[in-house]
Amino acid sequence: MVVELKEKVYWVGVVDWNIKHFHGHEYSTHRGTTYNSYLIIDEKVALVDTVWGPYSQELIDNIETVIDIKKIDYVVANHAETDHSGGLPELMKYIPDATVIVSEKGHESVFKHYHERWNFKVVKTGDTVSLGKNSLVFVTAPMLHWPDSMFTYLTGKNILMPNDAFGQHYASSGRFNDEVDEIEVYQEAIKYYANILTPFSDLVTRKIDEFKKLNIPVDIIAPSHGIIWRNNPLQIVEKYYEWASGENEGSVVIIYDTMWNATEKMAIAIAEGLEKEGVKFKLFNMAVCDRNDVLTEVFKAGGILVGSPALNNGLLPTIKPILEDLKGLKFKNKVGAAFGSYGWSGENVKLIEENLEKAKIKILQEGIKFKWQPVKEELERCVEFGRNFAKGLKGHG
Ligand code: FEO
C-alpha cells in the first residue's frame, strides 16, 4: 500500500516478506526486506530509487495509484545495485525521455548494468535540481557502500534519502519507526552495519561530520531498505557514529566447530573460565549457526575466540567462511585467540592465528591445542586459558 511521508511525497516501494537470502546467499534476511522508492510530486515529478527487478510491475502499479507514470520527469538512481536500480528498465519503457540522475560513478555503474543510453544527468555534491517549489540536493557518498552511492535531500520537506545507509533488512506492516518493534529494527540495523558498512567506518564518521556542518533540517530519514525514521530520525545517525567508533560491549564470542566433540569440550571449558572472571560470552557452533548473525555478535564484542580441530592440514570447512569475512570486514578494536584439538599434524591453531592477524584482530595470548580427546587436566587448562583471556581483555579495554 502506498504511504504518504509528507504532503505529496509517497513511499511507492515493495515489501518482500519472503526473501531469506540477499546478495545471492551471502547475507541472511530472516525478517525479509523492503525496497523503498519515493515519489515526489511538485511542478515536476521525481522518483528516488526503484526496486529490485522482479518487483518492477508492483512499483509501476503503486506509482499509477498516485499519478500517471508518464508524468515522471526525473528518476534518481542513488546506487546501481540491482535491488534499487532493477526497476529502471521496465520503468523507462514508459518514460524514455525522463532524466536519470546519477553520481559520476553511478553513470558508469548504472550504464554497465543495463547498457541503455538513457538521458543521464551526472551530479556531484551540492548540485541541485529544482522541482518547482522544492528542490533535490545531492551529496555523493562514495563507498557507503559502493563507489557510486549517493544521498538525495528534498528541501522544504526536509527528507533525507540516503539509500542503503541507515537501512535495515526488515519487512513490516508499518513503514515508520514509530509503528514497529524498535528492538527488532535495531537488531537488523546493527546487523546491516556490521556485515556491510564496517570496512567503511572512517568514511561513515566523516560523512556524518560533513552533514552536521551543513546544518540542514532533517525531519525524516528515508533509507532504501526497512523502516523510515520519522520519530527522532537522528537517533540512527548517532547510532552509526557510535558503531563507526569501534566501541564494544567488552564481551566475548566463541566460535568453533567440532568433529567428535573434543574442540567443543575445550570451547565449553574456556567459556567457564570467562564466566569465572565475570565476562559475558556467547558460544556459536558454526556448523549450525548463521554466519551473518554471528558476525553481528562479533561486531558487538571485544574478544573473539576461534576453535577448530585440524583437518587435512587445515581447518574445518565450516570455520573458513567467517574467518574470510573477518578479514574483509576489519572490525576495529578486537582481541582474539585460537584453540582446538588435533590428531597428528596440528596446524589448526597456527592457521587460525594467521587468519585473525590478517583480520587485524590482536592475538591476546598464545593458542591452546590438545591431542585427541582432552583429559580433565587439559580441560582445566582450558578454563585457565579462558580466565587469562578475560583478564587480558579487561586490560585491553
Ligand atoms: Fe541495497 Fe547496496 O543495495
Rounded to whole angstroms, the Cα distance separating 351 from 357 reads: 10
Instruction: Check residue 397 and give its pLDDT.
Output: 60
Read off the pLDDT of residues 157-176 as tens digits, 9 standing for 90 and up: 999 999 999 999 999 999 99
Confidence (pLDDT) at 13 = 98
Print burial letters for 344-380: b (CB count within 10 Å at least 16), e (below 16): eebbbbebbbebbeebebeebeebbbbeeebeeebbe
C-alpha of residue 157 to centroid of ligand 1, in Å: 25
Please check the confidence at residue 24 and state whether its pLDDT lies above 80: no
If asked whether residues 55 and 187 sit together in one domain, one would say yes
Do both 157 and 46 map to the same domain? yes
- Rounded to whole angstroms, how far apart are CA atoms 151 and 129? 14
Ligand 1 atom with least separation from CA of 82: 3
* Residue 84 CB less than 6 A away from ligand 1: yes
Q: Is 79 in the pocket of ligand 1 (CB under 6 A)?
A: yes
Find out whether the beta carbon of 16 lies less than 6 Å from any atom of ligand 1.
no
Indicate which CATH number applies to the domain containing 304: 3.40.50.360
User: Can you tell me which atom of ligand 1 is nearest the CA of 145?
Assistant: 2
The domain tally of the chain equals: 2
Predicted pLDDT of residue 263: 98
Q: Is the CB of 49 under 6 A from ligand 1?
A: no
Whether 36 shows a pLDDT value over 70: the answer reads yes
pLDDT of 23 over the 90 cut? no
Please choose, from the candidates 231, 128, 221, 106, the residue with its C-alpha nearest in 3D space to the C-alpha of residue 167.
Answer: 221
Domain boundary residue, one of 228, 244, 260: 244
The band of 332, judged by pLDDT with boundaries at 50, 70 and 90, is very high
Q: Is the minimum distance from the CB of 164 to ligand 1 under 6 angstroms?
A: yes
How far does the centroid of ligand 1 lie from the alpha carbon of residue 146, in Å?
8
CA 10 to chain centre: 25
Is the separation of the CB atoms in 69 and 110 below 8 Å?
no
Indicate if 228 and 117 belong to the same structural domain.
yes
The CA 23 to ligand 1 mean position distance, Å, reads 9
| pLDDT per position as a tens digit, 101-112 | 999 999 999 999
Query: 549457526: which residue's cell?
Result: 289
Residue 214 scores a pLDDT above 90:
no
> Where is the domain boundary, 174, 209, 244?
244
Q: What is the mean pLDDT of residues 130-157?
A: 97
Q: Are residues 24 and 50 in the same domain?
A: yes
CATH of residue 105's domain is: 3.60.15.10
Residues 302 and 158 in one domain: no
Residues with catalytic function: 23, 79, 81, 83, 145, 164, 192, 225
Whole-number pLDDT of residue 20: 94
Residue ranges making up the domain that contains 329 = 252-396
Let me know whether 134 and 278 are in one domain.
Answer: no
Q: Which of 223, 244, 265 is the last residue of a domain?
A: 244
Nearest CA to ligand 1 atom 3: 81
What number does the ligand 1 atom closest to the CA of 35 have? 1
* For ligand 1, atom 2: residue with the closest CA: 81
Question: Quick check: 338 pLDDT over 90?
Answer: yes
Grid coordinates of 94: 514508459
Is the separation of the CB atoms in 284 and 253 below 8 Å? yes
The answer to whether residue 26 scores a pLDDT higher than 90 is: no
**pLDDT score of 186:** 98
Distance 84 CA to ligand 1 centre (A): 7
Q: Are residues 67 and 186 in the same domain?
A: yes
Name the 3-class secondary structure at 40. strand
Distance CA 373, CA 266 (A): 9
User: Do 234 and 216 belong together in one domain?
Assistant: yes
Q: Is the CB of 81 under 6 A from ligand 1?
A: yes
Average pLDDT for 113-128:
97
Q: How far apart are CA 242 and CA 302, in angstroms?
A: 15
For ligand 1, whether the C-beta of 169 sits within 6 Å is no
Q: Is ligand 1 within 6 A of the CB of residue 224?
A: yes
Question: Does the beta carbon of 225 lie inside 6 Å of ligand 1?
Answer: yes
Q: What average pLDDT does this structure show over 287-293?
A: 97
- For residue 145, whether the previous peptide bond is cis, meaning omega lies within 30 degrees of 0, is yes
Residues 134 and 95 in one domain: yes
pLDDT digits (tens, 9 = 90+) for 37-56: 999 999 999 999 999 999 99
- C-alpha count within 13 angstroms, C-beta hemisphere, residue 217: 5
Nearest to 245 by CA among 192, 213, 206, 296: 206
Instruction: Compute the average pLDDT of residues 248-264.
Output: 96
pTM of the shown model: 0.96
> pLDDT by residue (tens digit) across 350-359?
999 999 999 9
Is residue 239 located within the same domain as residue 258? Answer: no
91 falls in which pLDDT band (50, 70, 90)?
Answer: very high
Closest by CA position to 165, among listed 118, 122, 218, 124 = 218
Ligand 1 centroid, distance to 279 Cα (angstroms) = 36
Q: What is the mean pLDDT of the chain?
A: 96
d(CA 10, CA 163): 15
* Apex 293 CA angle, 370 and 12, nearest 5: 165
Per residue in 130-142, is it b (16+ CB within 10 Å) or e — as a string? ebeebbbbbbbbb
Whether 221 and 321 map to the same domain: the answer is no
Overall average pLDDT of the 301-305 stretch: 98
CA of 311 to the centre of ligand 1 (A): 37
| CA-164 nearest atom, ligand 1 | 1
Is residue 36 a contact partner of residue 223, using CB atoms and an 8 Å limit? yes
Element (H, E) at 154: strand 150-154
For residues 223 and 34, what is the distance between their CA atoms, to the nearest angstrom?
Answer: 10
Ligand 1 atom closest to Cα of 225?
1
Clarify whether residues 273 and 212 are in a common domain: no
Helix axes 291-300, 320-329, angle to 10 degrees: 50
